[in-house]
Homo-oligomer: A and B are copies of this chain.
Amino acid sequence: MKAIVHVGLKPGVLDPQGKAVADTLGRMGYSEVQGARIGKVIELDLTGIDPAKADTRVKEMCEKLLANTVIESYRYELVE
């Protein structure tokens, strides 16, 4: 089983890395780029986990380590 965890800055939180990307694309001639936001995708390989508990366990991992919930939001999917 795999868990695909998406972590991104909450709306309103400044994203300097995204701003750098958008500004650079603008300077390169891509004037259509008005902004950019950058997030992470963490793909976890899970083995020997009870599928019924996987959801709770992955949520815990997000809360404890994978996302900084003060400034970041997360969502995840479990896939076979």
Contact = CB atoms under 8 A, between A and B. Distances in A.
Interface of A: 6, 8, 18, 21-22, 24-25, 28, 30-49, 57, 60-61, 64-66
11 contacts: A24-B65, A25-B61, A28-B65, A30-B60, A30-B61, A33-B44, A33-B45, A34-B46, A36-B44, A38-B43, A40-B40
Given A6-B41, A36-B44, 16 more contacts: A8-B41, A21-B42, A21-B66, A22-B44, A24-B65, A25-B61, A25-B65, A30-B60, A30-B61, A32-B46, A33-B46, A34-B45, A35-B45, A36-B43, A38-B43, A39-B43
* Copies of this subunit: 2
